[in-house]
Amino acid sequence: MPKRKDKITSAIGWSTADRIQVHGLDLPSEILGHVNLGDMAFMQVTGRKPTAPESIVFNAIAVTLVEHGITPSAMVARLTYMGAPESLQAAVAAGLCGLGTVFVGSMEGASKMLYAALPPGEKATEADLSRIAKETVAAYSAAGKIVPGLGHPVHKPVDPRTPRLFQIAEENDMSGLYVALMQLIQTEAEASSRKKLPINATGAIGAICCEFGFPQEIIRGFGVMARAIGLVGHILEETRNPIAFELWQRAEEEILQTSGPDAQ
């Protein structure tokens, strides 16, 4: 059991009758109208405003994660809203529950891999990075695991988001050892598997998050923040152009056709 604290504290924010303080700044006069949503998310995690280059790169990451079309998380949100239209927040929460090792959460897997291969603060040469990449891919192969951050079912041979994210990072001095290592891991994985394995968007984001030095246990949270915005958009569209009912009905009909009493 952790030792009982003398007092409960938080460095994030507090309120009085006439003041609201967030990360040491006055909310009405120093944040509202001065800080955009991406920068606020950055502040919430780091406790400080981003620099101008950090703001550009972090906002690019956040925007990338907002929308990916009719993915399982969007479908679940729409279906949940169909069943409980009085609870928009439950539909958003249902969609967010599916952000794991396959969708969105793979950015966490990529960052964990990179941090394990090259611990924060450790220097490396190009030769070191090549060796680390070989050892990393070999370890995943020996364990029968997929290298996180590589491959995409649709975007081949290149995920179009990845070169743009890396370009933005480079233009803002946020492209270093981790981006280089992720690229070398891709090269090694493709050579050993003889398959095209593009660095996907979450692999690129995982590498850039390592450049920021974000703790690996919070990196999936950026996807949760961003995707919540996207799911609200899907739910609004569902109210105007419903597809959830048809998804349900077509699944029922097609299952009956293939598995029902008259199926051949």
How far apart are the C-alpha atoms of 208 and 177, rounded to whole Å?
10
Q: What's the DSSP call for residue 87?
A: -
Identify the pLDDT of residue 129. Answer: 95
What single-letter amino acid sits at 159?
Answer: D
How far apart are the C-alpha atoms of 84 and 88, rounded to whole Å?
8
The closest alpha carbon to 204, from 219, 224, 217, 226, belongs to 219
Domain annotation for the chain: domains and CATH numbers: 6-50 (no CATH), 106-213 (1.10.230.10)
The closest alpha carbon to 225, from 23, 22, 57, 38, belongs to 38
Identify the pLDDT of residue 255. Answer: 86
Q: Collapse the DSSP code of 112 into the 3-class scheme (helix H, G, I; strand E, B; otherwise coil) and give the result.
A: helix
> Dihedral angle at the C-alpha atoms of 193, 195, 198, 199, nearest 10 degrees?
-10
Kindly give the residue spans of alpha helices, DSSP state H, lying in 104-194.
106-117, 126-142, 161-171, 177-193
Q: What's the DSSP call for residue 36?
A: -
How far apart are the C-alpha atoms of 181 and 117, rounded to whole Å?
9
Q: Collapse the DSSP code of 25 into the 3-class scheme (helix H, G, I; strand E, B; otherwise coil) and give the result.
A: strand
How far apart are the C-alpha atoms of 111 and 215, rounded to whole Å?
9
Residue with tokens 């729409």: 78
Identify the pLDDT of residue 123. Answer: 86
| Number of residues that make up the chain | 264
Please list the pLDDT of the chain residue by residue as tens digits (264 residues): 677 778 888 999 999 999 999 999 999 999 999 999 999 999 999 999 999 999 999 999 999 999 989 999 999 999 999 999 999 999 999 999 988 877 777 899 999 999 999 999 888 888 899 999 999 999 999 999 999 999 877 778 889 999 999 999 999 999 999 999 999 999 999 999 989 999 999 999 999 999 999 999 999 999 999 999 999 999 999 999 999 999 999 999 888 887 767 666
